[in-house]
Structure 1
Amino acid sequence: MGDVDGVARCLEAAVGERFVRDELAALVSQAVAPWVAHDGLRLFGMNPITGAVSFGFLHDFSPDLVQAQLFDAYLGDDAFSPADITRQPKAVGLFDGNDLSIPGHQRVLSTLAAYGAGSEVRLLLRNSQGLWGLLALIRESGRGPFDQDDAGRLAQLSPPLIALLRGYATAGLSPSGAPLPAGVVIVGADHQVRSLTSEARAWMREISPERGLAPEWMPHVSMLEISLAARRHLVDPGAPRPVACSPTAFLGRRVAVHAQPLDEDGKGDVAVVLQDATGALLLPTFAAWHGLTARESLVLQHLYSGAAPKQIARSLKVSLHTVNTHVKAVFRKTGVSGRDALLAALDS
């Protein structure tokens, strides 16, 4: 068995590195394996504002299994699903076959078995600043299932994993390509893409895995997840809002994706909109990714609107000194040298 400090150091050393496709999942799997043995791993980053899955990576984890689990999570029965992630009282979900009385436990195990897996443990990555992602490990059928000791060890890795996801999301990379107009994809009742506008086709070419950044499984799985999330949110407003925001490192540009069912019960078509995540659309997620406080986020909004420090002070009813302190904190946390650089980071 490995040492938790050694695993943490390995993960911390990778913060800020450049990863393409599923390389990040491979690194995390290699680091975690001596601490919690497993046969497959998935790591999903979430929009800390909405809770929607926004980017993700797999290592020895079948994309078909992911899709089956998405149907369980959003339309079926899953005891620890993304649709209920903000309501989870515990950070770790354990599916080891021992307690079938938990609602959804049997369904999770049945889905795992259909793809050759026998048990799964999931770690919700959250802290006082927000919801950052989900790490899931599986073991093949026939191997000893995960137990409470495994769950406890995995939970110790939450801080360095959150740091790794935040570092990935805030990597100072320049977006590639010219801005694109918003595009619309229609996902039918059968969960298949039914039609695309010409603008959406341009988007699909832009974010295609053939460009070498996104994992090959990403387009279909991501479209399925956001449309399922929209269906669930319509009938369950307490579920995460279907608004994802992918960082530049994932697709070569920051992409906002949001979805809306086109009927009253969420069983028909869903419209999925893809657009550049810039400016005011990006502000809340940008602030969360960079760990801004609530007051610093307000100052960021005023800075983006063009307000001068004195105007911000009057609006917030605080001293100019306090505003300048917040402004310096915003610049420091977002890694910019001034207002012009901050605006460029938000609008590029």
Structure 2
Amino acid sequence: MIDPRRRAEVMSGAERVTDALELFSRTSAKLRRLMPFDSAVWAATDPETGLITAPMLVENLGSGEGCADYWENELLEENVVPFRDLARAAVPAAGLRAATGDLPERSARFRRLLGHQGVDDELRAVLRVGDRPWAVVSLFRTGNGAPFGPDEIALLAGLSGPLAARLRRFARPSAPGGGADAPTPGLMLFDPSGEATSVNEEARHYLSLLPDGPSIPSSLGLRLPIWMVATALQARAIAAGRDRGGARVRIQTVDGRWLTCHASCLSGPAGRPGPVALVIEHAAAADLAVMIAEAYGLTPRELEVTQLIARGQPTAEIAATLFISPHTVRDHLKAVFGKAEVASRGELVARLFAEHYWPLVPKTAAVLAPSAWARSWATDTSHQR
């Protein structure tokens, strides 16, 4: 049974942290006092694909270059309690020794990596809200330490929802306003062994915008962030039939904007596996719609209503589309306005679209300036309230 006082102790002050990395650091320090561990990895994830993204906190694991082997093993090999399974499990946390009946050698991750690094046990969890994973965490014990016990596993599992709910608020872009036209997408190629072999200048530009974090060297003279490497690995996993998910991740830049990184495995001669092509570019509005709405804490139904509002549908049409009453639509609207801290449909669209998406739309696609566009929306839709 989870002691609510221990969970409250870990979560105390979480509302005051200003970014995901600070939340990871503070939570890790508080957890260590309640259940000792020697090293840890905390990584934000894309809530739609579950792939790791920025930021990532690596504690007491050296330079972090071993992260590439860890994620290659996670994505390309059969394993005990992989994160993809924990994201769907009734309990989103598991200890390696507990899951293997105290026979960690049953895990390829232990045989190939952890055992050689002196790790005795790993406690891992997915931080999620509903079925949306917002981060993953791994805690490690070394030096013949005791395995993680049921109470410790339960404590971390109980923190999954509260921590994820705090994390998703950081998905709100913090860089409204216009900018220069979006450059050509960046392109990088990886050979079948996973080595980066070529890159264009646009990709180099995008790499310069990414936050610090674990990275690996490449023959291109670039250090590649681990979340980009993991996206390429996921493309190989999909091509090999190991996963049906998407090799796609959104990454927040140092100035608060969002990029989309997606990869696919190409075919070589006679159908043999070819290189992996990875594209990185500014995130379009469609890439961010669901994530931004969830960052404001909208429920699935509230998100549906918001999406229909963005298409300009009046209350009666929304009710017909969703098979609910106009009164229920208005109740959802009231809740959405409160969460987004707006007073009208026009302000809602401006908050979720103009403020966050306008910097990502090429100037040639715009007819009105952002402020004029938002005012036009407010005027056109005010009669629908």
User: Shorter chain as normaliser: what TM range?
Assistant: 0.7 to 0.9
Asked if the contact 1:92–1:121 (Cα under 8 Å) also holds between the matched residues in 2, the reply is: yes
Matching residue's letter, 1:32: L
Alignment-derived partner of residue 29 in structure 2: 30
Matched, 1:198 2:221: no
> Match of 1:34, SS?
helix
Alignment-derived partner of residue 236 in structure 2: 231
CA-CA distance at 1:178 after TM superposition: 4.2
Asked if the contact 1:122–1:134 (Cα under 8 Å) also holds between the matched residues in 2, the reply is: yes
Distance in structure 2 (CA, Å) of the matches to 1:87 and 1:17: 28
CA-CA distance at 1:262 after TM superposition: 1.2
Distance in structure 1 (CA, Å) of the matches to 2:136 and 2:168: 13
The counterpart of 1:275, out of the listed 281, 291, 301, is 281
Alignment-derived partner of residue 150 in structure 1: 152
> Match of 2:170, SS?
helix
Q: Superposed, which structure 2 residues align to 1:310-321 within 5 Å? A: 310-321=316-327
Asked if the contact 1:231–1:266 (Cα under 8 Å) also holds between the matched residues in 2, the reply is: no
Q: Superposed, which structure 2 residues align to 1:101-250 within 5 Å? A: 104-105=106-107, 107-170=109-172, 173-174=174-175, 178=180, 180-181=182-183, 182-207=185-210, 209=211, 214-215=212-213, 217=215, 219-236=224-241, 238-247=243-252
Alignment-derived partner of residue 51 in structure 2: 52
CA-CA distance at 1:32 after TM superposition: 0.7
> Match of 1:191, SS?
coil
Question: Which range moved further: 259-268 or 70-79?
Answer: 259-268
CA-CA distance at 1:317 after TM superposition: 4.9
CA-CA distance at 1:13 after TM superposition: 1.8
Asked if the contact 1:78–1:103 (Cα under 8 Å) also holds between the matched residues in 2, the reply is: no
TM-score with structure 2 setting the length: 0.75
Question: Which range moved further: 268-277 or 10-19?
Answer: 10-19
CA-CA distance at 1:38 after TM superposition: 0.7
Matching residue's letter, 2:74: A
Alignment-derived partner of residue 14 in structure 1: 14
Alignment-derived partner of residue 82 in structure 2: 81
Distance in structure 2 (CA, Å) of the matches to 1:196 and 1:335: 43
Asked if the contact 1:113–1:141 (Cα under 8 Å) also holds between the matched residues in 2, the reply is: no
Asked if the contact 1:183–1:203 (Cα under 8 Å) also holds between the matched residues in 2, the reply is: yes
Alignment-derived partner of residue 262 in structure 1: 266
Identity %: 26
Distance in structure 2 (CA, Å) of the matches to 1:244 and 1:334: 25
Q: Which has the larger radius of gyration?
A: 2
Alignment-derived partner of residue 342 in structure 1: 352
Distance in structure 2 (CA, Å) of the matches to 1:243 and 1:232: 13
Q: Which has the higher contact order (CA 8 A, sep 6+)?
A: 1
Q: Count residues in correspondence.
A: 338
> Match of 2:298, SS?
coil
Alignment-derived partner of residue 41 in structure 2: 42
Asked if the contact 1:232–1:266 (Cα under 8 Å) also holds between the matched residues in 2, the reply is: no
TM-score with structure 1 setting the length: 0.83
Asked if the contact 2:97–2:104 (Cα under 8 Å) also holds between the matched residues in 1, the reply is: no
Which stretches of structure 1, 4 residues or more, deviate above 6 A after TM superposition?
Answer: none
Matching residue's letter, 1:347: Y
Distance in structure 1 (CA, Å) of the matches to 2:287 and 2:45: 16
Q: Which sections of structure 2, spanning at least 5 residues, go unmatched?
A: 217-223, 359-385
